[in-house]
């Protein structure tokens, strides 16, 4: 699957998020809590821009700040990463288990 910016309207992006199978699953990676696994891994690969509202750096915040940010993340209409995601509902094509590429797939990293 290709990681690139999708040309969706605001309503279409909200639809992608609201129908996502992991829109309520936080992901912890490298000291940050992300709104979804795609956001976490795509950001860490520099495959998408960093969207500050998509994650919480738990290494620099106190407990009350983390709780506040978790509530905000839980009530978000969609993530910035949704604009790059193909979607994760039951209408999106799936990749068969154990099927791998025979060579590395290249992507253009986002400038840091």
* Predicted confidence (pLDDT) at residue 1 exceeds the cutoff of 70: no
Q: How are the residues of the chain apportioned to helix, strand and coil, as percentages rounded to the nearest 5? A: 30, 10, 60
CA atoms 95, 93, 88, 59: torsion sign? positive
Record the pTM: 0.80
Spatial CB neighbours of 69, under 8 Å, sequence gap ≥ 6: 56, 61
For 37-67, how does the pLDDT look when each residue is reduced to its tens digit (9 = 90+)? 999 999 999 999 999 999 999 999 999 999 9
* Predicted confidence (pLDDT) at residue 24 exceeds the cutoff of 90: no
Q: Which two tokens stand for residue 90?
A: 């039951």
34, β-bridge pairs? 27, 55
């Amino acid at each position: 699957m290709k990681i690139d910016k999708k040309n969706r309207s605001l309503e279409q992006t909200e639809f992608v998020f609201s129908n996502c199978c992991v829109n309520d699953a936080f992901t912890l990676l490298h000291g940050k809590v992300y709104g979804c696994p795609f956001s976490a891994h795509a950001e860490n690969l520099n495959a998408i821009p960093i969207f500050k509202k998509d994650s919480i750096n738990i290494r620099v915040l106190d407990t009350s700040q983390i709780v506040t940010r978790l509530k905000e993340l839980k009530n978000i209409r969609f993530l910035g990463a949704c604009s790059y995601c193909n979607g994760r509902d039951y209408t999106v094509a799936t990749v068969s288990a154990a099927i791998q590429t025979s060579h590395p797939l290249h992507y253009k990293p986002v400038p840091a």
